[in-house]
Chain A
C-alpha cells in the first residue's frame, strides 16, 4: 500500500447523500476475478447520464471526491473501494461514512476524510464556482485546503498512522514475523498438513 501523507488533486463535487455501494459499483461486476480494472464500473449507472459530474471537464480528471453525508452505505463489497481507487481517487471527503466502507477504505489506502457538513458545503460552492480547483489534504496536520476554504478533518489515530506509513493489515502482521515463527515452532506435531497430499 502506498503511503499517503499529503495529496493534492482536482476536487469532484458529488452532491448526493447516502451514496450506497450499489451505486458506487453494481453487483454485476462482482464476478470479476481481479482486484483492479474496476474504473469503468465506478458509478456505472450514473455515468450513463452525460450530465453526471464525472462526464464533465475538468472533473473527470479529479482525485478528491467530495460527497454528501453517509457515503458508502449498504453492501460490504470491497469492490467499491477498489473501483474508486482504480478511477484515480485517493481521497473521499464526507461528513459521515458507513462503518464498513470506512474500514475497507483504510485497508486499501483510500483516505476517507470526515469534514463537518457546513465546510463540505463551502467546498461544494468553491468547486462549482471554480471548476478544476485543486484540493490539498494533509494527514500530518489533518487539514483540507480548497481555494479559499481551509478546514480540518477528523480521523482516528490508528487509521491515520497506518495510512501515513502505507501499512495494510498484512504489513502490520508481517511485523510480527518473529512471534509467528516462534508460535509455529511450538505447534504440536500431530496437527495436519495438506501437503504432501494423501487421499
Chain B
C-alpha cells in the first residue's frame, strides 16, 4: 500500500488501513518495517485461544480491551443433545478452558445453550458488532467473512491472538489490492456461492496471495449482506489475506437496529464516516479480475481444493487436458481420492449426504433459500441431510418462521448451531468413502472426516441434490414454467 496516502485517491482497503495506523513502519535497509495497526474487534473461540491466554498468564499480562473482545464456542460443540456434557473429553476440556479463561480475563462469552452461541463469524454480524470501516481479527482463517461490511478482517495465528489480547494492536506489513469486479445480474438459481467458487476457479487457490480483494460491480451491489458474507468468507480459499465489499445502503440497513449498532447522533456520525469509505474515483488497484454474472451457472467442485470446480452442467475434467504439470498431477490425485472418472457429467454424481451449514452458508437467508426448494417435495430416501444453523439465534429465527418444520417434513436432521461437519472437530463427520454435497468452504482430503469426499455447493444446489440424490441445480427440480 502507498507510502503517501494523503494526496492520492485511495481504495477502500487503503482507507481502512490508514485510519488504523498507530505507529507507521520505518524504511530501513531497503525494507519497510510493519505498521502497527489498531484492532477494533477481536473474536475468540476455543481452539486457537488456550495457548494465547496461557501466554498472558505466564507473562503476568492482562487483556488490554476486554470491551473489544468477544468469545463463543463453535468448533468442538456438539449439534445434538447440547444439554449433556460434551462426550469427547479432549473437546470438552478445550471448551471448558475457554470458559475459565473468559471468566479470568473478563471476556464476554456466549456458551453452548446461549442464544448468541454459534459460529464466531455468524455471531459478530448478528450482534451488530461487525460494522463498516473496522479492523476485525480472529484466530480463524474465515475471519474474512466480516469484510462484507467494508471492514478489514483477517485470520491470525495463536501468537498473534495473544498479541492482540495484550495490546489491541498487530504489526502488519501492507498488502496489495485486487479488484474483483462482477458485472451484470445473477440468473435465478445462481447465488453468491457460485460467484465465489467461480472466482476461485478462475484465479486459483493462490491467486489472491498477498492481496486484499475488493468485490465490486453491479452484481455485488445487488447482493444482500448475508450473500456478501458468503463471498468474503471464501476469500481465504483464493489465498487472499482479506476480502471486502464497500459499505452502502444495504450494509447500513443490515446494521441499523442490531444490539450493538450505533444509535442517535452516533448513528449519524457513523454513517457519514462509512459513506466516505468507498474506493475513490481514480484509485489504482494492483490487480483486477472481471466476471460476468449473467453467464454464471450453479457451480460445484469436483476435486480436493476449492479451485477445482466447474459449472454443474459440465463434466469432470480430464487431467490430461491440463497444461500445467503441477495442476495435472494435482487433478489426477484429486480424481483418485474423489473416485471420479474424467468425463462423468457432474449431475450423474450420486451423493450420500447433504450438509447445509458452516460460516459460509448457514445464515437465515441460506436456510430460507434451501427450504424454498424442498418445501412440499420429497428427499431421496438414500440421502441423509443435516441442517446446522450458523448460530443459536439463526436456529430460533428459522423456527419462528417454521423452516425447521419444512426441513423435518422433508426428512432432514435439524441440528443445533456450530461449525459441525465443515471440519468435523465434533462428532459430525463423514465415514470413509462417503460422498457429500456441502455448503461449506473446504473440500480438502479428509476435511469432513477421514476418507470423506466433499463437493462444495450453494444452499439451493444442496437442496436440489437432496431431492434427486445426484448433484442437481434448482432448475432440475422446479416445475418447468408454462411456455
Contact = CB atoms under 8 A, between A and B. Distances in A.
B127 interface: yes
Contacts of A193: 67-68, 260
Contacts of A184: 38, 168
Given A35-B55, A78-B159, A176-B36, A194 B269 contact: no
A193 B262 CA distance: 10
Given A176-B23, A189-B266, A199-B259, A194 B70 contact: yes
B169 interface: yes
A33 B38 CA distance: 27
Contacts of A192: 40-41, 128-129, 131, 260-262
Nearest to A108: B159
A33 B134 contact: no
B159 A169 contact: yes
Nearest to B263: A190
Contacts of B273: 188, 190
Contacts of A169: 159, 163, 171
Nearest to A192: B260
Nearest to B47: A31
Contact of B269 (A31, A76, A190, A198): A190
A113 to B, nearest CB: 21
Contact residues on A (Cβ < 8 Å of other chain), bracket? 20 to 34
B162 interface: yes
A107 interface: yes
Interface stretch (B89-97, B322-330, B334-342, B412-420): B89-97
Given A31-B90, A189-B269, A194-B108, A180 B158 contact: no
B166 A190 contact: no
Interface in A150-171: 169-170
A34 interface: yes
A76 B94 contact: no
A48 interface: no
Interface in A41-96: 76, 78, 82
Given A194-B70, A195-B108, A180 B58 contact: no
A117 interface: no
Nearest to B64: A180
A169 B40 CA distance: 19
Contacts of B259: 198-199
B270 A180 contact: no
A31 B94 contact: yes
Contacts of A149: none
Interface string B115-127: 1100000000001
A180 B169 contact: yes
Contacts of A191: 40, 131, 134
A148 B59 CA distance: 39
A76 B22 contact: no
B269 A180 contact: no
A199 B115 contact: yes
Interface in B56-104: 58-59, 61, 66-70, 90, 93-94, 97
Given A191-B40, A191-B134, A34 B54 contact: yes
A6 interface: no
A107 B97 contact: no
A108 to B, nearest CB: 8
A166 to B, nearest CB: 11
B432 interface: no
B54 A36 contact: yes
Contacts of B167: 170, 173-174, 180
Contact of A34 (B50, B59, B128, B260): B50
A82 B54 CA distance: 13
A194 B65 CA distance: 10
Given A195-B66, A199-B116, A76 B134 contact: no
A188 B269 contact: yes
A193 to B, nearest CB: 4
A179 interface: yes
Contact of B67 (A34, A174, A195): A195
A107 B58 CA distance: 15
B51 interface: yes
B54 A190 contact: no
A135 to B, nearest CB: 27
Nearest to B274: A190
A181 B55 CA distance: 23
A37 to B, nearest CB: 10
Contact of B94 (A33, A35, A183, A197): A33
A168 B47 CA distance: 23
Contacts of A179: 22-23, 36
A127 to B, nearest CB: 32
A170 B158 contact: no
A183 B22 contact: yes
A188 B97 CA distance: 34
Nearest to B59: A170
A78 to B, nearest CB: 6
Nearest to B37: A183
A146 to B, nearest CB: 31
Contact of B168 (A180, A188, A195): A180
B157 interface: yes
B234 to A, nearest CB: 21
Contacts of A76: 157
Contacts of B131: 191-192
Given A170-B59, A179-B23, A180-B22, A198 B36 contact: no
- The CB with the most chain B CB atoms within 10 A, among A33, A76, A191, is that of A33
B395 to A, nearest CB: 15
Given A170-B162, A190-B273, 18 more contacts: A31-B94, A33-B93, A34-B51, A76-B157, A170-B163, A176-B23, A176-B169, A180-B169, A187-B38, A190-B262, A191-B134, A192-B129, A192-B260, A193-B67, A194-B41, A194-B260, A198-B127, A199-B116
8 contacts: A33-B54, A33-B97, A34-B51, A176-B36, A191-B40, A192-B41, A192-B260, A194-B70
Counting from the closest, the 7 A-B pairs by CB-CB distance are A33-B50, A198-B259, A190-B270, A190-B266, A35-B51, A190-B262, A195-B67
Interface of A: 31-36, 76, 78, 82, 104, 107, 169-170, 173-174, 176, 179-180, 183-184, 187-195, 197-199
